[in-house]
Structure 1
Amino acid sequence: MARLEAPVGIGDRTLQNRLYRAPLLECAGNGPEAVDALIEDLEPAAASGAGLLCQGATIVRGEGGCAAPGMTRVHDPEFVEQLARLTERVHDHGAKIAIQLEHGGLRSMEVWHAGYRQSHSGLEQLAVSRPPWQLRALDRLGLVSFDPHVLDTAEVYGLAADFGKAAARAVDAGYDAIHLAGANMGVVQQFLSPFYNRRDDEFGGSRRERVRFLELVHDEIRARAGDVPLLTKVPAETAAPRLVQRHLDLDDGVWIAEHLADYGYDAVAPVRANVTWDMSIVRGEYPGRAWEREEFADGYADAFGSRYRARAVAALNRLQARRFEFEPAWNESFCRRVRRRVDVPVMLEGGVRERGQMDRLLGATGEEPACDLVGMARPFYAEPRLPARLLDAEAHSASSPRSQAHEDAEEQYSSSPRSQAHEDAETRAVCESCNNCTVPQVTGAPGVCRTPSVLRRRGELEKQGAYERDADD
């Protein structure tokens, strides 16, 4: 039971506090300015006091596997060596940095991005198994295009080795931890999920066999990168629609987390998700402003095949927003169940927006802790130096904003008997969970806040000195 400022250990590393920047898409790519772009995105969180920064998903291979435009690849030793400039800048502020390793599998751009498919027509799609019938139906409707190569057993070992090689390069560049993208429908989740995994070799079958890929990745990283702290997201596909009978339920997710902790993983981040990418992992409002901006129209048409199809995707996005409304700390119950069963730190993210809520989740208010670290993602797009407002919150006098979205979320949350700390909180993120930052990323646009009311409020806080920290903080 600890407040947000309390140190916490992960493996053999000690973090200065329990606040972390959860993985985001930095859109830095691999060009000559990539390292500078990553420093610009990540250093503010370190300078303002975050204990841990999780660099967003980076791809372990040189071709394919990117789930979105602008993702950084870490297959090239010369490029990864340059990332030492980033890790040094983070360390200068006393923070630690993890790199998240990923391959998109059937969520990669070569499957869903029309323009990318056309310009990379020879690029091979990688799959854990033949796509299930629900996804093949989407193919027949023209929403995606499947022509996958199903990995054979030897190729699975090769993919795991690529994770290990990437981890070794990252450790040499100064990264403090390796974070696997075990959810968000990437290839790791595809191995874990019975929806995707219909294999008949050692990597398919029961959940005991399906978790084997994460065991193999662990072994490769340990063999190549040593005892670097190893973290992973753990999915539970609770948002799967009724027509998906085979998926990971909460019991499966708890079992996977417990097994991985016993196997040697140093921390787990349990997350509720779906079998396909949707708003279950970015709960909030329909991003109408982003869909309506003409500057992105051509990019949407390129991504989805035409302006007509882009409008169809926008309509689907509107329906999803109604189903997946914002829910404060929506992974709380999952994390609490996992924490009762593991002896490694549990990381909680998703719907965390204010300081009192964080202390409650950590158990500082006297109730059972749900986690050992608390993370946020989209709020960092709105406030890159957000930790300065949340850490040592009682020392700050700047008032907290309350948009209508915040008020609606608080009204929903106040129905819980655990809401007192939430109501009494002195600080909360200005992020309104409107998702106007995320949707344009399908066009290659950077992840930044585009909501005028949020930007105005951030400007007011900047004038008040809310993001300034003393050198001794």
Structure 2
Amino acid sequence: MTTLDAPLDIGGVEVPNRLYRAPVLECAGNGEGAVETLIDELEPTAASGVGLLFQGASVVSERGGCAAPNMTRVHDPAFVSRLSRLTGAVHDHGGRIFLQLAHGGLRSMATWHAEYRRRHPDQRQLAVSRPPWQLRALDRAGLVSLQPDVLSTEEVWDLAEQFGRCAGYAVDAGYDGIHLSAANMSLIQQFLSPFYNRRDDVFGDGVRFLEAVHDAVRDHAGDVPLVTKVPAETAAPSFVRRHLAREDGVAIAERAAEIGYDGLVPVEVSTFWDMSIVRGAFPERAWAASDLQEDYAAVFGSRVRARAVELLNRIQARRFDRDPGWNAAFCRAVRERVDVPVLLEGGLRTREDCDRYLGAAGPGTEPAADAVGMARPFYAEPRLGARLLDGHDALCASCNNCTVPQVTGEPGRCRTPSVVREQARLRQDGAYDRPD
């Protein structure tokens, strides 16, 4: 049996246990206090005993590509070098930290964020191909704004090279590995998805982009561990005919392992940026927050449009399955076909579920993954690792009140009073303290 506190080797780097902090939006940006914000956000998690931290999606380009406000850009080696303070802080606690590299493509803020468009009227979105008709229809209806800049073959190679350069900067700053954002409607998912990718060149096979990024990372960062998410678009709406089925995702995972990826994170998502990635309750409190109403109106273009998005959010909250470990079946299918570590995330909240999916729940338990991760629970409990490793459960109720305000640039934090109060009580009682 594999237990949560057993070490794990990922690409030659030993991680002290099987618990990881999945990537979320840190909203640190690149300003004066960015490094301090990231340290404040991530060091407590390392101090709590979490073996591996994935610093959330960090954009590889100098402009464009941000899918949400205040994302950190890592194109500048001078800025990334300052992040050695963060990696050093994580290492001081015995943890490991990987940097997640990302680009939003058609999911960039220039598509959906009205205020951002007003401030950047000439900004275009990188596109794998001409946008699908569903997005073009939303553009004609005025709900999004598409100004696609379809990448030439040479530009795709250049973009892969940029991922590699940023990986090199990260290794120089002390990061232990690289994680690619290849789901949640990121540009890499757009390469992999038949919904978006209609190219007639070599990159019409989207896995070739994963290969090009892998080779560029090896050129610039050496043998650093390289992990990628692997999407299956099983949560796509019924009107989307062309999408990645689970078996397609398994095939992508097999090819990624053959290319040389050192770890895989299979996730079942939609073709769009929706609640398939943050399943849970409708965030009533967040949408009703009086201090955010003007911000929501600015983001979505008006109060009426903000209400329309709120209604869509309410409908989607009822649509998606919330079973803990909702990616487990996909992970298990991938794990049976590859010989690299498979990482599971998606709705995990209890120690029992962590043990079950690692195959440590008792004789006959079939493992789904080699490591288990959580994301939103760390907004509520930055030092959650101490309690989980001690056999307790997370407080997070998947209410999603932490996520919606992030479209306005608000930092990720728990906004549910009962959870905040309980976290404060546990902290006062020493529940997050670890022995020296």
TM category (shorter chain) comes to: over 0.9
| 1:382 paired residue number | 380
| 2:13 paired residue number | 13
- Map 1:306-385; keep pairs closer than 5 Å: 306-364=302-360, 365-366=362-363, 367-385=365-383
1:392 to partner: Cα distance: 3.4
1:326 to partner: Cα distance: 2.1
Is the CA contact 1:48–1:386 (under 8 Å) kept in the aligned structure 2? yes
Q: 1:255 aligns with which of 251, 257, 261?
A: 251
1:464 to partner: Cα distance: 2.0
| 1:411 paired residue number | none
- Map 1:114-193; keep pairs closer than 5 Å: 114-193=114-193
| 1:236 paired residue number | 232
Is the CA contact 1:5–1:392 (under 8 Å) kept in the aligned structure 2? no
1:325 to partner: Cα distance: 4.4
Which runs of 5 or more structure 1 residues have no equivalent in the other structure?
394-426
- Map 1:403-442; keep pairs closer than 5 Å: 427-442=392-407
One-letter amino acid of the structure 2 residue matched with residue 356 of structure 1: E
Residue range with higher mean Cα deviation, 309-318 or 138-147? 138-147
| 2:76 paired residue number | 76
One-letter amino acid of the structure 2 residue matched with residue 229 of structure 1: P
Is the CA contact 1:164–1:225 (under 8 Å) kept in the aligned structure 2? yes
Tell me the distance in 2 between the aligned counterparts of 1:63 and 1:454.
Answer: 38
| 2:435 paired residue number | 470
| 2:50 paired residue number | 50
Following TM superposition, where does structure 1 have runs of at least 4 consecutive aligned residues deviating by more than 4 angstroms? none
One-letter amino acid of the structure 2 residue matched with residue 384 of structure 1: P
1:140 to partner: Cα distance: 1.4
One-letter amino acid of the structure 2 residue matched with residue 454 of structure 1: V
| 1:458 paired residue number | 423
One-letter amino acid of the structure 1 residue matched with residue 234 of structure 2: T
Q: Secondary structure of 2:203's partner?
A: coil
Tell me the distance in 2 between the aligned counterparts of 1:112 and 1:102.
Answer: 18
1:148 to partner: Cα distance: 0.5
Residue range with higher mean Cα deviation, 19-28 or 289-298? 289-298
Tell me the distance in 1 between the aligned counterparts of 2:68 and 2:241.
Answer: 28
One-letter amino acid of the structure 2 residue matched with residue 319 of structure 1: I
RMSD over aligned Cα atoms: 0.7
Tell me the distance in 2 between the aligned counterparts of 1:325 and 1:341.
Answer: 26
Tell me the distance in 1 between the aligned counterparts of 2:373 and 2:183.
Answer: 16
Tell me the distance in 2 between the aligned counterparts of 1:118 and 1:153.
Answer: 30
One-letter amino acid of the structure 1 residue matched with residue 408 of structure 2: T
1:263 to partner: Cα distance: 1.0
Tell me the distance in 2 between the aligned counterparts of 1:223 and 1:15.
Answer: 24
Q: 1:293 aligns with which of 281, 289, 295?
A: 289
1:195 to partner: Cα distance: 0.2
Tell me the distance in 1 between the aligned counterparts of 2:259 and 2:160.
Answer: 16
TM-score under structure 2 length normalisation = 0.99
Structure 1 residues 44-75: Cα deviation after superposition (integer angstroms, max 9, x where no partner): 11000000000000000110000000000001
Residue range with higher mean Cα deviation, 458-467 or 187-196? 458-467
1:241 to partner: Cα distance: 1.2
Tell me the distance in 1 between the aligned counterparts of 2:354 and 2:190.
Answer: 31
Q: Secondary structure of 1:203's partner?
A: helix
Tell me the distance in 1 between the aligned counterparts of 2:354 and 2:231.
Answer: 22
| 1:267 paired residue number | 263
Is the CA contact 1:285–1:325 (under 8 Å) kept in the aligned structure 2? no
Tell me the distance in 1 between the aligned counterparts of 2:47 and 2:343.
Answer: 21
1:435 to partner: Cα distance: 0.5
| Residue 449 (str. 1) matches residue 430 (str. 2) | no
TM-score under structure 1 length normalisation = 0.91
Is the CA contact 1:128–1:199 (under 8 Å) kept in the aligned structure 2? yes
Is the CA contact 1:15–1:95 (under 8 Å) kept in the aligned structure 2? yes
Q: Secondary structure of 1:450's partner?
A: coil
Tell me the distance in 1 between the aligned counterparts of 2:315 and 2:309.
Answer: 10
| 1:106 paired residue number | 106
1:124 to partner: Cα distance: 2.2
Q: 1:284 aligns with which of 271, 280, 285?
A: 280
Tell me the distance in 2 between the aligned counterparts of 1:452 and 1:9.
Answer: 39
1:123 to partner: Cα distance: 1.4
1:459 to partner: Cα distance: 1.4
Structure 1 residues 382-405: Cα deviation after superposition (integer angstroms, max 9, x where no partner): 100000001132xxxxxxxxxxxx
Percent identity over paired residues:
65
One-letter amino acid of the structure 2 residue matched with residue 195 of structure 1: F
One-letter amino acid of the structure 2 residue matched with residue 359 of structure 1: D
One-letter amino acid of the structure 1 residue matched with residue 404 of structure 2: V
| 2:66 paired residue number | 66
Q: Secondary structure of 2:202's partner?
A: coil
One-letter amino acid of the structure 2 residue matched with residue 458 of structure 1: Q
Tell me the distance in 2 between the aligned counterparts of 1:111 and 1:161.
Answer: 25
1:428 to partner: Cα distance: 1.2
Equivalenced residue count is 434
| 2:29 paired residue number | 29
Tell me the distance in 2 between the aligned counterparts of 1:441 and 1:450.
Answer: 12
Is the CA contact 1:283–1:327 (under 8 Å) kept in the aligned structure 2? no
Structure 1 residues 164-207: Cα deviation after superposition (integer angstroms, max 9, x where no partner): 00000000000000000011110000000000000010011xxx
